[in-house]
Amino acid sequence: MSVDKILNDWKKAKFKPVYWLEGEEEYYIDVLVHYAERHILTEAEASFNLTVFYGKDADWTAVINACRRYPMFAERQVVILKEAQQMRDIDKLEAYVDKPLVSTVFVVAYKEKKVDGRSKLAKLLKEKAEMFTTKKLYDNQLPDWTSELIQGKGYEITQKALLLLVDHIGNDLNRINNEVDKLLVNLAGTKRITEDDIERYVGVSKEYNVFELQDAFAKRDKVKAIRIIQYFEGNPKAGPIQLILPSIYNFFSKVYMIFGQPARDEKGIAAAIGVNPYFAKDYLAAVRNYNYEGIENGLLLLHAYNLKSVGVGSAGTEDASLLKELVVKIMG
């Protein structure tokens, strides 16, 4: 069952006695817990019928006793167990899961992992409860997810701004959502987020970033690449070598794949090598500016300089110096 399906059921006042929310992606669990805590009951009902426990401090008997109480002046009560993965003897909840009270909506947030599928508790949950399991999105899914999030809030975002935002934050949906909300507060009289907004309110340079460095490699533009590296040298948090080298290596790896593809149009290449169509032109530019041997040599150099960046064969060399050497050797 999806987040949307659960939320739609709740909005229609259709409830199951037990909801077990588990998995690696906290964002979806937080969305459901927030709704359960704020919206299932009215403010007046919640004062008598909302109980919230935290796993680290919760005693299983207290949780079960709360679930077995009958609601006061309302059709139902809500009991929420947050951070349930930290609760001792959580398996003792089996007795309640087996015979829950229909007037109680019991929501359990079991983050970061899944309940042991071999346990009796897991078997009871599958049989008697509504289980919702989350997993981290793949990195290539983040731009589409973020774009849909922004559209759902009534805004749109340029492609470059979207990719700058996602690359800066990484695979953290809660943080992406928070940064988007902060962005929207600062937008005045417009419904469109641009790279200027990302630079101004998130702190990511629209000119000096990994994507622009990738563009420089694709175009074999040594001057631009060195200029960006010098910016990173003065602003270490903007482009740490531990993030730059894997990003450029991934770029060259994708270019390497193109040599085995029959397609040469941007849309066909993007689909074949699994990249955002916005960047397909960069990969095709690299194919034109480097031959097969040049890309292969670039991959070997990137591997070697990745080792140097952790001190193998190059102890004490500054990161910026390593990157400048790499640019010169790859671009020739």
Task: Give the DSSP letter string of 50-108.
Answer: EEEEETTT--HHHHHHHHHSPPSSSS-EEEEEESGGG-TTGGGGHHHHHS--TTEEEEE
* C-alpha span between 9 and 16 (Å, rounded): 9
* C-alpha span between 332 and 324 (Å, rounded): 12
Indicate whether 314 pLDDT > 80: no
Q: Which pLDDT band, with edges at 50, 70 and 90, does 52 fall under?
A: very high
* C-alpha span between 78 and 104 (Å, rounded): 6
Q: Are residues 190 and 312 in the same domain?
A: no
Q: Which pLDDT band, with edges at 50, 70 and 90, does 265 fall under?
A: confident
* CB 83, CB 109: distance < 8 Å: yes
Q: Are residues 302 and 254 in the same domain?
A: yes
Eight-class DSSP state of 132? E
Q: Are residues 113 and 82 in the same domain?
A: yes
The number of distinct structural domains making up the chain is 3
Indicate whether 304 pLDDT > 90: yes
- The pLDDT score that the predictor gives to residue 261 is 85
Q: What is the mean pLDDT of residues 254-276?
A: 87
Look at residue 318 and tell me if it is in a domain.
yes
Q: Are residues 59 and 107 in the same domain?
A: yes
Residue 23 β-bridge partners: 111, 134
- The pLDDT score that the predictor gives to residue 258 is 92
Host domain of residue 321: 219-226+233-331
- The pLDDT score that the predictor gives to residue 244 is 92
* CB 29, CB 111: distance < 8 Å: yes
Q: What is the mean pLDDT of residues 328-332?
A: 92
Eight-class DSSP state of 11? H
Q: What is the pLDDT of residues 59-92, one digit of tens each?
A: 999 999 999 999 999 999 999 999 999 999 999 9
> Greater confidence, 236 or 96?
96
- The pLDDT score that the predictor gives to residue 126 is 93
Look at residue 115 and tell me if it is in a domain.
yes
pTM of the model: 0.79
Q: Are residues 144 and 122 in the same domain?
A: no
Q: Are residues 26 and 129 in the same domain?
A: yes
Q: Are residues 194 and 257 in the same domain?
A: no
User: At 164, which CATH number?
Assistant: 1.10.8.60
Look at residue 254 and tell me if it is in a domain.
yes
Q: What is the mean pLDDT of residues 208-218?
A: 92
- The pLDDT score that the predictor gives to residue 270 is 87
User: At 21, which CATH number?
Assistant: 3.40.50.300
- The pLDDT score that the predictor gives to residue 168 is 87
Indicate whether 267 pLDDT > 90: no
Q: Which pLDDT band, with edges at 50, 70 and 90, does 236 fall under?
A: confident
Which of 161-165, 185-189, 196-200 is predicted least confidently?
A: 185-189
Q: Are residues 148 and 52 in the same domain?
A: no
Q: Are residues 120 and 60 in the same domain?
A: yes
Q: Which pLDDT band, with edges at 50, 70 and 90, does 332 fall under?
A: confident
- The pLDDT score that the predictor gives to residue 2 is 86
* Nearest partner of 149 among 35, 326, 3, 299, judged by Cα: 3
- The pLDDT score that the predictor gives to residue 260 is 86
- The pLDDT score that the predictor gives to residue 263 is 75
- The pLDDT score that the predictor gives to residue 34 is 97
The encoded tokens of residue 317 equal 């060399």
Mean pLDDT taken over the chain: 92
Q: Are residues 121 and 49 in the same domain?
A: yes
Query: CA 298: distance to chain centroid?
Result: 30
Q: Which pLDDT band, with edges at 50, 70 and 90, does 13 fall under?
A: very high
Q: Are residues 130 and 144 in the same domain?
A: no
Q: What is the pLDDT of residues 141-182, one digit of tens each?
A: 999 999 999 999 999 999 989 989 998 898 999 999 999 999
- Tell me which of 89, 117, 134 is where a domain ends: 134
Q: Are residues 10 and 115 in the same domain?
A: yes
Look at residue 214 and tell me if it is in a domain.
no
